[in-house]
A = this chain, B = another copy of it.
Amino acid sequence: MSNEKLPSRAENYSEWYNQVIQRAELADYAPVRGCMVVRPYGWSLWENIQQALDSRFKATGHVNAAFPLFIPMSFLEKEKEHVEGFSPELAVVTIGGGEKLEEPLVVRPTSETIIGYMYSKWIKSYRDLPLLINQWGNVVRWEMRTRLFLRTLEFYWQEGHTAHATAKEAEEETLRMLDIYTRFAVEDAAVPVIPGRKSNSEKFAGAVHSYSIEAMMGDTKALQAGTSHLLGQNFAKAFNIQYLDMNNELQYCWTTSWGVSTRFIGAIIMTHGDDQGLILPPRLAPIQVVIVPIYKNDEERARVMPVVDKIRAALGSIRVKVDDRSELTPGFKFNDWEMRGVPLRLEIGPKDVEKGSVMAARRDVPGREGKSFLPQENIASSVGALLDTIQSSLYEKARAFRDSHITDVTNYEALTTAVQDGWAHAWWCGSADCENRVKEETKATTRCIPMQQPGGTGKCAVCGRDANEKVYFARAY
């Protein structure tokens, strides 16, 4: 299956994306419109993402819990902006156990409301704060135009929900999680991202401020890859989340929420993939190394396989797959594992057995340049070093691509040109009018007001008025 030719990215980026996912067996379409099945290879990638994020959450004092799938419709209505934002996207259960329900139940699109309700029961005193809970689960948003991983009716994610005694602590938490997402993207996924604040028109329904990490895909469009929301006292007041402070006075909590979803898999595919298929960052790849034994006959096979087994054993904790399918040619296998994005391939044939070496082929560097012979001795350390090199090369390559597609612009014409094939970095006056004009005329939106600002002031690239901050404009997924 995976040996048929893939459409090139230049030819049809969207079709390339869909076919990579299906041929690499990451996911498949479900029989219900807009839903996906995450296949074992895709789920294994997600498990590695989960582990990478979860260990960062736990290291910063967060714990996991599970809140219900079903939320009473009346809960959503308690926070005005929240219900306005989410009500067009809801799946609603109206029948349970054969009977019509008195109050319809919403299948959670996000859990601020039901968690807010529970927090109001659990939090009594300042001693119960901060409350730092995360949940791994599924949510449903009734999207009209869906794409595997990027936008599906049901998706998988983590949603952190925290409550704090002061505004300052809540803001620190919001930014701490933005930083954790940035580090995860850069260090684990080799995806360069720009952390920043969303504009008012792009923020989460019910938030005071939303922050995001924004990544550039291979077609130069932006993808919001994680968000962290400062909710102020909006949900605390809607759900009566109060605590007794040290002076025994009742105060409202300050809350935050933050999430990364299976959408991130889409970011990995479109950041690193090439015309041969997927390229996975070694730290997250389900299979880090594939070993393909090379032999022409049973006699050669008998000499090669013991060395294959020895090398596999020597690689220890590195995630290795030996492709010993006898009915397929090595060439077919090479293409197959390239499509699946395995970072490193080791070939072991009769000559390697003689010479005490193995042939290593990097997925990220095609052709002869990516090939080298490694001595069988100390194979774990040389393969480990090569995986580290691949990890950092992937990051550098993606960063160089991104940076070469970001244009600093100072006027509207330059802005509209820049967003045709990249991002525009521009002073912005902060008005929704300017955002709307750009959106209507170019389809580009403000992605984020980056944390890293040049300082000083400038003129808005759209209207020419005074501006205090720079922003990224880009077409986005």
Contacts and interface: CB of A to CB of B under 8 A. Distances in A.
Interface stretch (A39-47, A178-186, A334-342, A404-412): A39-47
A250 B236 CA distance: 61
Nearest to A99: B142
A64 B35 contact: no
A36 interface: yes
Nearest to A36: B68
B114 A72 contact: no
A153 B69 CA distance: 10
B87 A64 contact: no
Interface in A47-94: 47, 63-72, 75, 87-94
A144 interface: yes
Contacts of A117: 31
Contact of A93 (B46, B47, B92): B92
Q: How many copies of this chain does one complex carry?
A: 2
Interface stretch (A3-11, A132-140, A165-173, A352-360): A132-140
A89 B141 CA distance: 24
Contacts of A87: 98
A91 B65 CA distance: 23
Could you say which of A30, A104, A144 has the most chain B C-beta atoms within 10 Å of its C-beta?
A30
Nearest to A97: B142
A32 B92 CA distance: 14
A231 interface: no
Given A31-B75, A92-B96, A38 B63 contact: no
A28 interface: yes
A154 B66 CA distance: 11
A118 interface: yes
27 contacts: A28-B118, A28-B121, A30-B68, A30-B114, A30-B118, A32-B70, A32-B71, A36-B68, A37-B67, A40-B65, A42-B65, A43-B66, A69-B69, A69-B138, A70-B153, A70-B154, A88-B98, A90-B96, A91-B93, A91-B95, A91-B97, A92-B96, A94-B94, A96-B142, A97-B144, A137-B138, A138-B138
